[in-house]
Structure 1
Amino acid sequence: MAYLGDPIDAQLAAVAGSDPALFAELRGAFLDSARRQVDLMRRSRCDGNWSMAGLRLKGLAASFHAQGLMRLVEQALAGAPGDPAVLRKIAMWLDDFSAGAQDPAPADPAPISPDQA
């Protein structure tokens, strides 16, 4: 899946305009929703639940142009359901974003296949 877009904070700023309170609220809503999906992934007991939560998280990341998070979720969906290593990477991305990073790059991004370019 090729995806081009502005970084997440640029998208939020386009929606919030010059209202810093709205910007913070939208950023917080994104984080809450993302963390909820990561929790569902962590608690999933079957491949279907893992995939469903992962696809929701990927869709959320895509709607906010969070390319780093999208790459990590793609890595999670391509790997084994419940993989704790990729869940830690996603949690670290969310922590970095929460701390103020615009779109933190994954620690070791998933390779992009020719059909994704």
Structure 2
Amino acid sequence: MRHIHIAMLRAIVAIPTTARMDRNMAHFIISFRIKSDSDYQSRYDSFRKRVEAISNGIGGVWEETSSFYAIEAKNTAQGLCYDLYLNTEFDPSKDIMLVVDVKNQEQATKGEIKYPNSLASALGF
């Protein structure tokens, strides 16, 4: 069912991809919270594995703190956020994610962000 929904979403919304951005790599910060429940570990593992795949393996990821990654990838903040949502078990009804493109000063979120104005103010964009 999720794939049908995604196909409809792609038809309605233009999702930024690497084809529409310059060929340079961007630097991203990914912060997230996976709700602790019965399928936490499965959602967390799928998210971690996808981040590693996007960043060309474990060597391309900095993850020394919890619920945080710093990576380099060819994408946009919105494109990376959608990729992580569509290709993992991330559940926006209970999980939250923030993707920040530090080079281009763009951010994208998925899940319920309770204080979006505070987030924008703290980031400065």
Common fold: TM-score over 0.5: no
TM-score, length basis structure 1: 0.29
More helix by share: 1
TM-score of the superposed pair, with normalisation by structure 2: 0.28
